[in-house]
Chains A and B, each alone.
Chain A
């Protein structure tokens, strides 16, 4: 990382560290949910840099959540770090299996087949109620940290910082990844697959690897949101949840990693307030925001920030390690 980027990176997370202490509990709760979702959004952003849209990322999110639920309920594993690793591995494993089929597809087929798998999983979760609790979902006991049992309130505070630290690590690694030869290969696949294969790259393998990385990220997000909610239900795997992830990615713009986190937070708050003040029309409000963003700023929030940046600061703003979409 370049020096000014490093400062930006540290500053970004320090602000969130302080926010965690200042904000009232309900706001911190929403912020935690948004941070958890931004893992999945980052995964989707990575795939979009590959030129692919997944409309089924809720699957990896939910699969990890249910893996954790079973690990803690059936195996009695309550240690938070162990559960986090389980979430990561289960997200990576299921996305590898599905990626084997899906990595052969592009464009609309890719989007539809990923969505089909997430809905298939949703169907199983709803119908196999003896195992999964059906639409009632499953309760997850509060995890312990190195053997220490915490009260739910303390736990939620800790979970915010846990999400933040894991996110900071993930962002650090992602920025490194995007600047690595593999990161350039991802971008090259979007621009021209045939040329990549003539240069000796194996396109489907690159797609599969990207897919697994984004699945692992979603797994982490699923694990952290499970800790936060304490209760999970099949809705986590629903296709509208995936749609929301894609929307956040597009709303933020795929050019910048931090924008994805900011976008996730904005949308989570918009959703909370829209749901509170317009219970029958909150979907419509989200839909209209979506249409306006798509029509007037298809590069998302990041494009708007860049436009403002260009107008007022001629030297240009930091790109957060990602130079273009």
Chain B
């Protein structure tokens, strides 16, 4: 009995950790979809871009021998910097030409961006791995269920919760956030009412990009940063947003938790079926709720 409880604690811990960082990627994805109606395949590349920039910054910071705890500010800066540089570039140069185009063209555009960004990262950061473990060792460990965990895991969870809350507050309270919400509901009417649509698109895309980069930046210390990180992230976060309902922030949170825990359980009980179980759960949820748990409301088109 004791053993079983331990195992459940381990699964929950793993699941929630995984859910936290996949949530950071998925809310950006779902936010961008809500506003621009584009599902950004290159979103995973923003995640690994964030991871690379953060690893480089962290290594450089520790080489300087500065006050160690401030490294978390460096990580956050790395994420925001990545998001607000790469994001607007992608949006202004490419994506803004694709709004209201055919869905196959939009998908392929972001897929092309994904291919390009993957190689751009190889050109900038090289192909050798980055190890930026210092922040992980900095905060020490704690014990639950007979297993020692790095406290750093708790920091990742905290970051996910704080980012989720900040985004929610931004959408509910700030002027720009309210404009974003109105664009989600009806871009045409919003524009007629005088909103600057291109500006809102750029801001939303940069915020979404920074969130993905934040996920990458904070997971960089617990991973080896190598080329090809983006792929798993993007494929899993698609499952998360589809489960939650495309365009729904609450849905992304619940979807991330479901995917995280299901994945952790699969890893412990049926390692062969890791990816498979996630998609089976997704298929089952879609059988009951065809557009995910919290779908966006849309009028029927005739």
Contacts and interface: CB of A to CB of B under 8 A. Distances in A.
B52 to A, nearest CB: 16
A246 interface: yes
A283 B279 contact: no
Interface stretch (A15-23, A100-108, A170-178, A303-311): A100-108
A108 B296 CA distance: 13
B148 interface: no
* Chain B contact surface mostly: helix
Interface stretch (A6-14, A121-129, A206-214): A121-129
A174 to B, nearest CB: 19
Interface string B266-283: 000001111110111011
B119 A284 contact: yes
B219 to A, nearest CB: 21
Contact of B111 (A105, A112, A119, A243): A243
A247 B111 contact: yes
B275 A119 contact: yes
Interface string B232-273: 000100110010001000000000000000000000000111
A124 B108 CA distance: 26
B103 A120 contact: no
- Contact residues on B (Cβ < 8 Å of other chain), bracket: 35 or more
- Contact residues on A (Cβ < 8 Å of other chain), bracket: 35 or more
Interface of A: 48, 53, 55, 101, 104-105, 107-109, 111-113, 115-117, 119-120, 122-124, 127-128, 194, 239-240, 243, 246-247, 250, 280-284, 286-288, 290-291, 294-295, 298
20 contacts: A53-B104, A55-B107, A101-B286, A108-B103, A109-B242, A109-B291, A112-B238, A113-B242, A115-B238, A116-B238, A119-B235, A120-B278, A122-B275, A124-B272, A124-B273, A239-B235, A280-B122, A284-B120, A286-B112, A288-B112
Interface of B: 33, 39, 94, 97-98, 101-105, 107-109, 111-116, 118-120, 122-123, 127, 231, 235, 238-239, 242, 246, 271-276, 278-280, 282-283, 286-287, 290-291, 302
